[in-house]
Structure 1
């Protein structure tokens, strides 16, 4: 399925349907069914989409993409604990910073390219920089934006994340943008639609997903490692 943001930006959906209004008949897929070069870590994929250059033979390459979006659930205790920690950080940050970012800065980014955003918030030629700000938060769920650049000569990445912890399950809705020339709204429009569609997903226990421990020495994309440095927007 192809979803056109406009004539220039298209989302190729490899699994799921963001247009459904309820969870009836919702099917989960395994990581290895949706991605060509990503190791499974105990996730169940409910939705996966990327740009046309990232999709080949019905699978997304996480090593070669301009933008991608994913909805997943997991019952892995360490990932659930990370979700709880993220919600705690968002609660604390929102208490300290309030709504200034989401009301004043975030709207101004929508028509800007990722490159424009990075040039505005990051010093030139500086490695390992990150800005992270809360978009919304409650006791059991939170959403935030992260803009990360590991090395000055590498592309900046923007990630939008919604997470909700219920019992022993983490629900995560994530969208990632890496192409410096793509406007932020291409990412945020898709992510907002997915949050509206999946945020109140009813609880269902799933079993059987594979988990392969990541090789920390491999320089590969990891959707869980975006933004693992300190800072705020």
Structure 2
């Protein structure tokens, strides 16, 4: 590898940051921001929308709260997030959200590879596909599959993705109905790619804990995002942090 490629590769790595105080003190010290909604899709506000052919400058820093950054570069973010007193989007507040990001952190990539291999294999053992439940809401669907969960003593069930093309990536659908968190449906997809900055993982997540959220709407948005971002172009990226 040439010195130029080594230099470019380093730019994508996240800068480790240690907060000066606790979350209350850090929020008090954070400047007030104005994060505008730039559109709407599937009845969700869209906050970030960058073409797969362009480099992104969006990271979790200065945008999201209640989540520790791990070196993510955002290409897409939609969701019914609440804002805190400084105007930041509260990551954990969204009932329904969609996210596309890339990451170059070695440990993040390793964990993603392990988890995606494990759970996509579990999903492959099931006869269910994500397209088998088109006309249900989140609460209806999780109640429908609850007997199957109890059969194996689980609070989660994985199903195969009913997509025409996974574009070289892997993924699965997760249905949960736990006592603590209630019903939820989530779709996962990721792909590992070698770039001029090193190995990159692209992750796409669409999920909802809204009992009245229509599953078909989520699946359609997820499918659109996979098709759109399955081959993000290789551009130098910088500015991400991790805590």
Note whether the superposition's TM-score is higher than 0.5: yes
- Is 2:79 the partner of 1:54? no
1:31/1:111 Cα in 2 relative to 1: closer, same or farther (>3 Å)? same
CA RMSD after TM alignment:
3.0
1:55/1:16 Cα in 2 relative to 1: closer, same or farther (>3 Å)? farther
User: Once the two structures are superposed, what CA deviation does each residue of 1:109-150 show, in whole Å capped at 9, x if it has no partner?
Assistant: 1210100111111249x796111123168795112111123x
Aligned-partner Cα distance in 2 for 1:142–1:33: 30
Q: Contact 1:110–1:184 at 8 Å: present in 2 too?
A: yes
Aligned counterpart in structure 2 of residue 31 of structure 1, from 56, 60, 68 = 60
- Is 2:232 the partner of 1:206? no
1:152/1:195 Cα in 2 relative to 1: closer, same or farther (>3 Å)? same
SS of the residue corresponding to residue 81 of structure 1 reads helix
1:55/1:101 Cα in 2 relative to 1: closer, same or farther (>3 Å)? farther
Aligned-partner Cα distance in 1 for 2:168–2:41: 33
Partner of 1:183: 214
Partner of 2:143: 119
Partner of 1:164: 191
Shift of 1:2: 2.7
- Is 2:158 the partner of 1:132? yes
Unpaired runs of at least 5, structure 2? 1-37
- Is 2:102 the partner of 1:78? no
Give aligned pairs, total: 197
Shift of 1:55: 5.6
SS of the residue corresponding to residue 173 of structure 1 reads strand
Partner of 1:41: 70
Aligned-partner Cα distance in 1 for 2:57–2:239: 11
SS of the residue corresponding to residue 66 of structure 2 reads coil
Aligned-partner Cα distance in 2 for 1:86–1:142: 11
Shift of 1:82: 2.2
Larger RCO, structures 1/2 (Cα 8 Å, 6+ apart)? 2
State which structure, 1 or 2, has the greater radius of gyration over its C-alpha atoms. 2
Q: Contact 2:66–2:91 at 8 Å: present in 1 too?
A: yes
Aligned counterpart in structure 1 of residue 225 of structure 2, from 194, 198, 219 = 194
Aligned-partner Cα distance in 2 for 1:132–1:164: 19
Shift of 1:87: 4.5
Unpaired runs of at least 5, structure 1? 213-233
Shift of 1:43: 0.9
Q: Contact 1:14–1:58 at 8 Å: present in 2 too?
A: no
SS of the residue corresponding to residue 74 of structure 2 reads strand
Shift of 1:35: 1.5
SS of the residue corresponding to residue 117 of structure 1 reads helix
TM-score (norm 2): 0.69
SS of the residue corresponding to residue 163 of structure 1 reads strand
